[in-house]
Chain A
Amino acid sequence: AQTVTQSQPEMSVQEAETVTLSCTYDTSESNYYLFWYKQPPSRQMILVIRQEAYKQQNATENRFSVNFQKAAKSFSLKISDSQLGDTAMYFCAFMNGSNFGNEKLTFGTGTRLTIIP
């Protein structure tokens, strides 16, 4: 079974600064996907960024980027130029890409990020 670990329960950073959220995972699979989801106070789950394990290039989406270290099984999220709207819970999630029809996500316990004005 896969496990996902987020070791930072809470973080805070000043507006406009850069912050990095950590995530490690454990799997014996070679084909998988990794995700970061954001959950603002509204409770809605929103996909932030996705990484396919077979791609060596780190994914980027505007101010969000990842540092994917496959050998170390590490998948950190970097938020640049942080904004007040980035305040949210952030969840790292793993999906086994080898089980057709079974694309379920395994989530970490989350990091609560607060952006300070």
Chain B
Amino acid sequence: NAGVTQTPKFQVLKTGQSMTLQCAQDMNHNSMYWYRQDPGMGLRLIYYSASEGTTDKGEVPNGYNVSRLNKREFSLRLESAAPSQTSVYFCASSEEEDKGYEQYFGPGTRLTVT
């Protein structure tokens, strides 16, 4: 049982390059999330997916797209990276109400855009 896995762990991009961050969970959760963490800002929600086939914008969606490929996988894509997207990115999935909605987080991806 690996929980939530993310790849890559580190990435450096040049402005304008694109990349996809991969996330997978093996806990059979319906809901999955992408957050970004910036110094002094806490974690902010980028996109979330309540179930396979559905996605919705969070607090800071501009510059990102997501795909809920299946129940296990939820990817985040940067089409044209900008220095403002330098951040640590976390994927998470959550339990249902009967287990108190606990969210499980991946180890994070540190992205630097130069």
Chain A residues packing against B (C-beta within 8 Å)? 4, 9, 33, 35, 42-45, 47, 50, 52, 91, 95, 97, 101-110
Contacts and interface: CB of A to CB of B under 8 A. Distances in A.
A107 B101 contact: no
B41 A101 contact: no
Nearest to B88: A43
B101 A91 contact: no
B48 A45 contact: no
A45 B90 contact: yes
A75 B56 CA distance: 29
Contact of A110 (B42, B45, B107): B42
Contacts of A4: 42
Contacts of B40: 9, 109
B44 A101 contact: no
B42 A43 contact: no
Interface of B: 30-31, 33, 40-45, 48, 50-51, 54, 56, 58, 88, 90, 92, 94, 97, 100-103, 105, 107-108
Contacts of A106: 45
Contacts of A91: 42-43
Contact of A105 (B30, B88, B100, B103): B103
B108 A43 contact: yes
16 contacts: A9-B40, A35-B103, A44-B107, A45-B43, A45-B103, A47-B102, A47-B103, A50-B101, A50-B102, A97-B101, A101-B30, A103-B94, A103-B101, A106-B45, A108-B42, A109-B42
